[in-house]
Each structure stands twice: as structure tokens, then as C-alpha cells.
Chain A
């Protein structure tokens, strides 16, 4: 590959990724308006939920966040989960009524610091809480382990088929095995 083409490809990559950082920054200044598809719930993050509270009021939302704190009030069977974002200084409380009888997806033991995906109805404008409907623990460490497992398979295979040309920093084919004749 000639140098011009290489530079062009690296430039495309750089522009798109610097552009995405720029768009992420713009998203901080001008938070996107939450949208949803047909009857689906709004899939939003904490920041979008906080800023778009009036749009998602009385609507179903799905939020994915690390739990900062929780409190279970046994006398009224109410579980209150706190989602906090220290960077934006936002705090949202999600309440699960009748927690002991609540139909959970998988997790029954809530742990601070673990990531949970919660479906609920936003009542942030009227009651300052989100009413929880479903909860599911996200095992992000498993996803990372699976990705690393994939890499552990790929890396030896790369070196089986390719060798490194250190001068050009390129992977080149290993010499082809001699054909035993035939076709």
C-alpha cells in the first residue's frame, strides 16, 4: 500500500474518532431529546433521563447504571435504589413497591457498585422518583472476559498465518506451503 493511501486511511479513522469525541462533548452541552420506537420504552442514560424528564414523564424507560446506594424498608416492602452520577452531579431514585413479591429477572441480591438494567415508569416531574417494573443485573465483567477470550484465540492464529514486517509495521503472509501436485 502506498504512503498516500495509508495516510488517507489513518486520516479517515482520526477524523471519525475525533469527531465522535466532539459530538460527545456537544451532547454534554446540548443533551439529545429522548426518542423511542413505537411501543418500546425509552432507552436512555441517567443524564438523558434527568434532562428529558418532562418528555418521558409517565412513560416507560429502560436505564442501565451502576447502583450507588439502596435502601430496603421492610415495613412497607419498598426497595429504593439510588443512581448517582458524580460527574454531572445527578441523583435519581428508583422505587420498587412490593419488592418481596416482585417478579425479578434474575437478581435478588442488590449490591452497591454492580450494574443493573432497570425498566420503570418515570414520575420524575411529579413525584421525583421512577417506579421500577423490572430489574436485571448486567455482568459486564463476563462480556469483557468473553472479548478477551476471543483475542486469546485470534492472536496465536494471526501469528500462524502472518509474520510481522517490523520496518513497515505490516503483517505479511507466511510463505506458502509447496503444493504436492494435482490442481
Chain B
């Protein structure tokens, strides 16, 4: 949900959005190892699942995961510059609007690497996790350095509670409505330009 909001804000679309969302879920892939808990495999859970879970929730862990998952994608994605932006860039070559459009165009054409999308997706996951109360010691951003100063948290809600969803659903809905309005407006102006 929050990944979709951010991808909307950053203008990440299509297959790039999917890769970004995979990046969002990526640090939790190791959760399947927590299954060892259910089977009382203490040795596995103490020495394998928990250390891996801790490292995957850090910058270096996200880098490693992005590096591995990106292997399953093509190295370079197609640039996503829309025809409308191209046209507006050609017709309007000065002012703030031009600069903003250029920035948007640059951002959309530069993000070609699945690795980069997975990495920023993973970092966003860590950012969202840091809103929770620091259960199990919190997010160790600079793992393997293990000091409280690297485990900061916003301490806003408890993990497993529905507070986050209840608090953030209205924001998500606002973005969804805004996004739909902008999309309809863009489609209309695009079709009027074609005519």
C-alpha cells in the first residue's frame, strides 16, 4: 500500500513499479525461515533464521538481496518517458514547469536498473519498519555495527497492531483519488493533443 503511494509520488510506473514493490517486500523474504520456530528447530532459528532476518533488515542486507534478486530480471529496463512529457518538453523550453518536467523526464529515463529499483524499494521497507516500536531491538540500519544509535525508531505504532493501517488508509485513499483525477486529466489532454 505504502509502496504504491511512493511509486506514485516518484513516478515509477508499469513493470518498474512491480520491481519496486518486490523490493518493498524483499527484506521479509527471509520470513519463511521463521517457520523453523513452529517446528521447534531451535538450533536453526537461533543460528540461521534470526541472524539472517537481522542482516536482511539493514542497508548492507538490502544491497545483498537487491543484488541477488536483480539476477532474475533483465539488466536494463526500457526508459519510461511518456509521449506527453516529450511533447511538453519540446514545446515549452523555459520556466519552472520546464525544469520540473525535465526533472521528471530525467528520473523516468535514468531508472533502468532493476537493482536500483529493488534497492530503493528495500530501503523504503526499512524506513516503514522504523515507524514501529523497536521490537527485537529495532532496525539495525548499519549492521553489523551493533549500537543503539544505529537502531533508532520513530516509535509510532506496535508491530502486529492495526494502528498503522487505520491511520494511513485515509492518506492512501486521498492519493488514490488524486492519482485517478490526475490520470484522467492527463489522458484527456493527451487525446486532445492527438486530435
Chain B residues with Cβ under 8 A from A40's Cβ?
148
Among B14, B56, B138, B160, find the residue whose CB has the most chain A CB atoms closer than 10 A.
Answer: B160
Check if B83 sits within 8 Å of A182, measured CB to CB. Answer: yes
* Residue in A closest to B53 when the chains form the complex, CB atoms: A20
Check if A28 sits within 8 Å of B47, measured CB to CB. Answer: yes
With A17-B55, A151-B25, A183-B87 in contact, is A23–B134 under 8 Å at CB?
Answer: no
Interface size on A, residues (CB 8 A): 61
A181 to B: closest C-beta gap in Å: 7
With A20-B61, A37-B151, A45-B137 in contact, is A138–B159 under 8 Å at CB?
Answer: yes
Chain A residues with Cβ under 8 A from B70's Cβ?
9
Q: Does A104 contact B (CB under 8 A)?
A: no
Check if A181 sits within 8 Å of B51, measured CB to CB. Answer: no
Instruction: Tell me the B127-153 residues at the A interface (CB within 8 Å).
Output: 133-138, 143-144, 146-149, 151-152
Chain A residues with Cβ under 8 A from B126's Cβ?
none
Question: Of A13, A87, A162, A182, which contacts B64 at CB under 8 A?
Answer: A13
By DSSP majority rule, is chain B's interface helix, strand, loop, or mixed?
helix
Check if B15 sits within 8 Å of A173, measured CB to CB. Answer: yes
B173 to A: closest C-beta gap in Å: 17
Instruction: Tell me the A1-35 residues at the B interface (CB within 8 Å).
Output: 1, 5-6, 9-10, 12-13, 15-17, 19-21, 23-25, 27-28, 32, 35
A47 to B: closest C-beta gap in Å: 9
Chain B residues with Cβ under 8 A from A105's Cβ?
158
Chain A residues with Cβ under 8 A from B71's Cβ?
1, 6, 9-10
Chain A residues with Cβ under 8 A from B42's Cβ?
86-87
A161 to B: closest C-beta gap in Å: 4
Chain B residues with Cβ under 8 A from A139's Cβ?
160-161
Q: Does B156 contact A (CB under 8 A)?
A: no
* Residue in B closest to A48 when the chains form the complex, CB atoms: B137
A25 to B: closest C-beta gap in Å: 6
Check if A25 sits within 8 Å of B138, measured CB to CB. Answer: no
* Residue in B closest to A105 when the chains form the complex, CB atoms: B158
Check if A161 sits within 8 Å of B136, measured CB to CB. Answer: no
Check if A16 sits within 8 Å of B55, measured CB to CB. Answer: yes
Once bound together, how far apart are the Cα atoms of A140 and B65, in whole Å? 23
With A13-B64, A20-B55, A147-B28 in contact, is A170–B74 under 8 Å at CB?
Answer: yes
Q: Does A117 contact B (CB under 8 A)?
A: yes
Q: Does A76 contact B (CB under 8 A)?
A: no
* Residue in A closest to B50 when the chains form the complex, CB atoms: A24
Check if A169 sits within 8 Å of B146, measured CB to CB. Answer: no
Check if A10 sits within 8 Å of B161, measured CB to CB. Answer: no
With A1-B75, A105-B158, A173-B15 in contact, is A64–B135 under 8 Å at CB?
Answer: yes
Check if B22 sits within 8 Å of A172, measured CB to CB. Answer: no
Chain A window 165-183, contacts with chain B (Cβ cutoff 8 Å), 1 for yes, 0 for no: 0000111110010000111
Once bound together, how far apart are the Cα atoms of A17 and B51, in whole Å? 9
Check if B159 sits within 8 Å of A154, measured CB to CB. Answer: no
Check if A173 sits within 8 Å of B74, measured CB to CB. Answer: yes
Check if A9 sits within 8 Å of B67, measured CB to CB. Answer: yes
Q: Which 6 A-B pairs have the closest CB atoms?
A: A183-B83, A24-B51, A20-B55, A139-B160, A13-B68, A16-B64
New contact pairs (4) apart from A20-B55, A35-B146, A87-B46, CB-CB < 8 Å? A10-B71, A32-B146, A150-B25, A183-B87
5 contacts between A and B (CB under 8 A): A24-B47, A147-B28, A150-B21, A157-B18, A183-B190
